Amino acid sequence: MDSPKLLPRRERKDWICCTIHRKALSVNTTERKMKSFFSSKTSALDAALDYADKKIPVFPVIFYDTTKTFGSVCSSSSATTDKNIIKSWFTENPAALVAIPTGTASGIVAVIADEDSSFTAKTPCFISLFSKKTYLFKLPEGCEGLSGGERDGLAWKGDLGSVVLPNPLEIIADGELEELPSEMLAKMNEPLEEVVAAQEEEEKRLFRVFRG
Q: What is the pLDDT of residue 51?
A: 97
Q: What is the pLDDT of residue 31?
A: 40
CA distances to 70, 162, 199 from 202, rounded to whole Å, are: 13, 10, 5
What is the rounded CA–CA span in Å between residue 137 and residue 41? 21
Of 126, 99, 93, give the one whose Cα is nearest residue 111.
Answer: 126
Low pLDDT (below 70) residues in the chain: 1-34, 192-199, 206-212
Q: What is the pLDDT of residue 144?
A: 84
Q: What is the pLDDT of residue 61?
A: 96
Instruction: Give the helix ranges, DSSP H, for the chain.
Output: 9-34, 44-53, 83-92, 182-188, 193-211
What is the rounded CA–CA span in Å between residue 205 and residue 68? 14
Q: What is the pLDDT of residue 209?
A: 60
Of 58, 48, 50, 155, give the one whose Cα is nearest residue 101.
Answer: 58
Pairing of strands 59-64, 97-101: antiparallel
What is the rounded CA–CA span in Å between residue 29 and residue 35? 10
What is the rounded CA–CA span in Å between residue 152 and residue 183? 14
